A and B are shown apart, each in its own frame.
Chain A
Amino acid sequence: MWMIPFLICFPLVVAVLMFAIRENKIRNIIAYLGAGTIMAVTGLFAFQWFAQGTPVLELYYHTHTIDMIMLGAVWLLMFVITYLSFKYRKHIISLLSIIPTMLITYMELFGPEMAEIAHIRVDKLSMLMCIIVGVIGSLIVIYSVGYMHGYHHLHTEYEDRRNYFFMLLFIFLGAMFGFVLSESLLWIDLFWEMTSVCSFLLIGYTRTKEAINNSFRALWMNLLGGAGVVIAIMYAGYKTGSLSFQNLITLGTEGNAAAVIPVALLAVAALTKAAQMPFSTWLMGAMVAPTPSSALLHSATMVKAGIYILFRLAPAMSGTMTGLMISFIGGFTFFAASIMAIAQTDAKKVLAFSTVSNLGLMVACAGVGTAETVWAGVFLMIFHAISKSLLFQNVGATENALHSRDIEDMHGLIFRLPKLGAFMFIGIAGMFLAPFGMLISKWSALKASVDMGNILLVLFIVYGSATTMFYWTKWMSKIISYTDTEIKVTDITKKDERLSLTVHATLMILLCLLFPILSVVYVEPLLTEMFGTAAAVLPQGVLFLLIAIVCFIFVAPIMAFRYAETSKVRQLKSYMNGINVGNNKEFIDSMGEKKHLFMTNWYFAHDIGQRKLMRPCAFVTTAFLIILLCMIIGGAL
């Protein structure tokens, strides 16, 4: 399996090249090649693994030298963070990096002898993450080559540091592969810190005051999570004598008291990564970064690292106090973030809130920790990764063409920028409409939380799905509203951007059609591997019925449409009390002059905006988190 070290190291090598090459054209070609190679190797890796019959692989038992290199890398990260914290006068933040690094170094060099463990583990969940990172990550890199070109044309005020940007993207990809494939907790910690730092540097890319403030907010929250991981590692190391993640989970599932605190701390750390309340403000702030980094880090992959950890921990959390805490925080975030999403007019903000909200549902699924909810969670994760990546890239491309990312400016987008509008429509439809997969996940999450007797979670999901529907539908209706006199916009989407968008949209549609098969072939065996029991969540009949419905719902109207085209239909002006000028966009006012008609959606920004709700929500969740953590730790000690 040469592919595993290759997938981790190759992006790092490309990253160095990216930084070194100043010539845009050459760098772009290398970026394409690098992304293509990563995708191809991921494909090959997955293919070989499938050909072997999807075994659980545990590799790399003796890694003393690599461990030392890793330790060096941790120190390097610490220096970077400390330097930047002092440079921007945020001294305190450096402590969050220095103390954990010291602890981990002490543990590594002077700590007790640990049991010999595998350092890399490949199983179905990590393979799924690998495929998501490999495919979506590479596509986003290809997209960003074109996007960044347009971005610097539009925003001439920012310094062009594309070499730095691409370097970070590739480092991030390498770190992400390392993260999902690692089995040793020490390695997990390193890669965790690496993704945090990449995210921090990417948010600060434009070096505006706002960007720098937001990036430091993201940094301290993620470092706090990282500190949690380090404490969990220390505790687990001293108590159990092993740094194997799998071992910890097994102990936790068996109910061993030594595993309770590490599991709880890791879970809380995962909450910071997955931007759950009270830590979600960093993700909102992260939206100042160029769109590809929002797509890659802040919705499709990096935040999924938190979800990945929680899915791993799910068997250990099931039915415990930790599980209760996580499912409450997740459910609450799902509901509260979806309410705040209603009040946003900025498309990226809506996407950010909906990301937090959907991640909340996944977190809640993991917190309940039964096979059924994890089934739902895994599907949510797959759907969310593809559709959010599609939507973020689409908003980016639309912004380059429209010079605005306000939803109100997207009026009639499907007619003004047909391709981008259609992709956006597909992405949003995938997020919540009935025949598509997200809904099935919601169904199963609801059923499982009723089964587990989690009343609050049931209420959160029920109310949250109503609010979710609200903000998506109003956005969609804005895209398809049409008038004759829309200002034409030239589509300046580059070929590479369009390639990535098309592949994403195709994947989305395929996934909607094929997910019953995916469920049987992959996700159910995955759960069997995790929980030891098979979980047939939805009967096959229902799943195929759903596909039949999709076909019916789309075929009947298309036939009607064809019929209408061939028969005699009179097209009228829309009703405006008889004073429609004739283009459905203007009317004659009482002075006999033309006036523009402008319809906006409902936002209720004063009632349910971020400013009003974020603080109370953060307060509630912080209090809950602290109380439950105290109870858990107190109970375990």
Chain B
Amino acid sequence: MGNVKRSPWLLHYDGSSCNGCDIEVLACLTPVYDAERFGIINTGDPMQADIFLITGGINKSNQEVVRQLYEQMPRPKVVVAVGVCACTGGVFKECYNIIGGADTTIPVDIYVPGCAARPQAIIDGIVKAIDLWQEKANNPEYVHAMYESHEEKEEKEEKEGNK
């Protein structure tokens, strides 16, 4: 597989965060830091994205959304949980509506701690994510798997059966 490192496209999703981490993430992407010079583009579209940046914890209403966005991303893909809420649930952990960190719903590769996560930490996390992403891209078996998860496989097969 070729060199994919020069063009990481991001999908940024805000879970139930206090927006502190979002502001930091967007700050990293502003013209001041000019992330585009590394080929980074903040797309709003999971089907075009490579790196899933998720801030805030998972609650009952956004769990399905996060899962679906993750499924809609083509492989190879990397998930970066930004901020302590996305890592573990943070201060909201014990709230009645919070399920926990992003890893309760989708497999998370990189954890960036902090409340709010500092830009240096975010950038460091993304650099790590890019390396991991390249590593994943080098494994064709992983890239061209037909289903994302066991659930998806079952759902698809059921659909086929109905037809």
In the complex they form, whether A and B have CB atoms below 8 Å apart is answered with yes
Which residues of A are at the interface with B, using a C-beta cutoff of 8 A? Answer: 484, 568, 570-573, 575, 577-580, 582, 588, 592
B143 → chain A closest CB, angstroms? 10
* Alpha-carbon distance A570/B149, docked complex (angstroms): 12
- Contact in complex: A578, B159 (CB < 8 Å): no
- Contact in complex: B47, A575 (CB < 8 Å): yes
A306 → chain B closest CB, angstroms? 51
A-contact 0/1 string along B11-50, CB 8 Å cutoff: 0000000000000000000000000000000000111000
Instruction: Report the nearest A residue to B71, measured CB to CB.
Output: A572
A257 → chain B closest CB, angstroms? 71
Give chain A residues whose Cβ lies under 8 Å from the Cβ of B69: 578
**Contacting A570 at CB < 8 Å: which of B46, B65, B74?**
B74
- Contact in complex: A580, B74 (CB < 8 Å): no
- Contact in complex: A570, B64 (CB < 8 Å): no
For residue B124, CB closer than 8 A to chain A, the reply is no
B73 → chain A closest CB, angstroms? 9
List which B120-163 residues lie within 8 A (CB) of chain A: 144, 146-148, 155-156, 159
**Contacting B65 at CB < 8 Å: which of A484, A572, A579?**
A579
A452 → chain B closest CB, angstroms? 51
For residue B7, CB closer than 8 A to chain A, the reply is no
Give chain A residues whose Cβ lies under 8 Å from the Cβ of B65: 577-579
Which residues of B are at the interface with A, using a C-beta cutoff of 8 A? Answer: 45-47, 61, 64-69, 71-72, 74, 144, 146-148, 155-156, 159
- Contact in complex: B146, A575 (CB < 8 Å): no
Name the prevailing secondary structure of the A interface residues.
loop
Give chain B residues whose Cβ lies under 8 Å from the Cβ of A588: 64
Give chain A residues whose Cβ lies under 8 Å from the Cβ of B46: 575, 578
Instruction: Report the nearest A residue to B68, measured CB to CB.
Output: A578
Q: How many A-B residue pairs have CB under 8 A?
A: 34
- Contact in complex: A575, B64 (CB < 8 Å): no
Give chain B residues whose Cβ lies under 8 Å from the Cβ of A579: 64-65, 68
A580 and B61 contact, Cβ closer than 8 Å, known pairs A484-B159, A572-B47, A575-B46: no
Instruction: Report the nearest A residue to B47, measured CB to CB.
Output: A575
B111 → chain A closest CB, angstroms? 22
A570 and B45 contact, Cβ closer than 8 Å, known pairs A579-B68, A580-B68: no
For this complex, 29 residue pairs linking A to B, each with C-beta atoms less than 8 Å apart, are: A484-B159, A568-B146, A570-B74, A570-B146, A570-B148, A571-B156, A572-B47, A572-B71, A572-B72, A573-B68, A573-B71, A573-B72, A575-B45, A575-B46, A577-B65, A578-B46, A578-B64, A578-B65, A578-B66, A578-B67, A578-B68, A578-B69, A578-B72, A579-B64, A579-B65, A579-B68, A582-B155, A588-B64, A592-B61
Give chain A residues whose Cβ lies under 8 Å from the Cβ of B61: 592
* Alpha-carbon distance A575/B67, docked complex (angstroms): 13
* Alpha-carbon distance A573/B156, docked complex (angstroms): 11
A594 → chain B closest CB, angstroms? 12
Q: Which of B64, B68, B71 has the most CB of A within 10 A?
A: B68
* Alpha-carbon distance A568/B141, docked complex (angstroms): 11
A456 → chain B closest CB, angstroms? 46
* Alpha-carbon distance A309/B78, docked complex (angstroms): 71
Instruction: Report the nearest A residue to B152, measured CB to CB.
Output: A570
- Contact in complex: B72, A575 (CB < 8 Å): yes
Task: A578-B72, A592-B61 are known; give 8 further A-B pairs, CB within 8 A.
Answer: A570-B146, A570-B147, A572-B71, A573-B68, A573-B71, A575-B72, A579-B65, A582-B155
Give chain A residues whose Cβ lies under 8 Å from the Cβ of B47: 572, 575
* Alpha-carbon distance A570/B159, docked complex (angstroms): 14
